[in-house]
Amino acid sequence: MKQLSRRSLIKGAAALVALPLTLQAKPQTQQSLKFVHITDSHMDFANPDSVEAMELMVAFLNENYKELDFVLFGGDNFNNNATKSEDALKFKQIIEKLHCPSYVVRGNKESSPKGDKHINSQEFKELFVAGKNLTTNNLDWLLEIKGYNILGLDSCIDGANNGRYTQETLAFAEKTLQNKKPTVILNHHPYTNYWKTTDKKEIHKYVLGNTQETQQKLFRYHNLILTLSGHKHIDSVTQINNAKVIATRGFTRPLDLDNYPMRYVELSGASITEKLIYTA
């Protein structure tokens, strides 16, 4: 058998070493995440237009936004004033017709039932949180997708319009942020008095009650890149530390007939593209 020369052995070894380096040199592409935020739809059987608006929303997104990863619903989704939880069940039935998954947090309407026959916190959890392959903490939930954290945090106080995060909610959020993935927080109550009212009662009703504590504990994490809220129905895009802080215009307040507002968001790493879109 012909023996290989020392030079041939060295050249062969060098080629084997170089091969994995060449393979590793391939650039890695950042996955993008596309979703829509809808808040304060206030679906109410006493207002048939509000039910039709939700059905219009589903048809519009299914037709025009086919690449969505999911849709987020930010509270006051239905007015919780129908007997036997009929409005909650109808809302669930409608959003399940979306071509993509949907994830829901409650607002003060869902947390303030008008009587024992209307949906309570446990029923809300069973209808809208359970069975979605989420990591949960009571009514709080975490969706991990494409390298991102999507946190749904419950900011509601049962029987009240105002809101605050419990210590359990803050701990759940902070533990999640420690995994260092880019993180989005969805909740109902906004973090700031962005409409600049001087009315203390209005501030108490609308702004998250322990917002200063929340900002100190959560907004110090640089991987918190976006928050999405509602409640006031007035649109706002501001910044707290590294996070873009958005309150989306209430779906229930169209500019014109059949022209209901939502927010389209696209994430690529820490880059955020967002805009209001309308059903017509």
Domain of residue 145, residue span: 28-278
Q: Is residue 20 part of a domain?
A: no
Q: Print the SS3 string covering the chain.
A: CCCCCHHHHHHHHHHHHHHHHHHHCCCCCCCEEEEEEECCCCEECCEHHHHHHHHHHHHHHHHHCCCCCEEEECCCCECCCCHHHHHHHHHHHHHCCCCCCEEECCCCCCCCCCCCCCCCHHHHHHHHCCCCCCEEECCEEEEEECCEEEEECCCECCCCCCECCCHHHHHHHHHHHCCCCCEEEECCCCCCCCCCCCCHHHHHHHCCCCHHHHHHHCCCCCCEEEEEECCCCCCEEEEECCEEEEECCCCCCCCCCCCCEEEEEEEECCEEEEEEEECC
User: pTM score, two decimals?
Assistant: 0.88
Judged against a pLDDT cut of 50, whether residue 20 lies above it is answered with no
What mean pLDDT is reported for the chain?
A: 90
CATH number at residue 207: 3.60.21.10
Q: Is residue 246 part of a domain?
A: yes
Q: Is residue 11 part of a domain?
A: no
Q: Is residue 253 part of a domain?
A: yes
Number of domains in the chain: 1
Tens digit of pLDDT for each residue in 205-239? Answer: 999 999 999 999 999 999 999 999 999 999 999 99
Judged against a pLDDT cut of 70, whether residue 181 lies above it is answered with yes
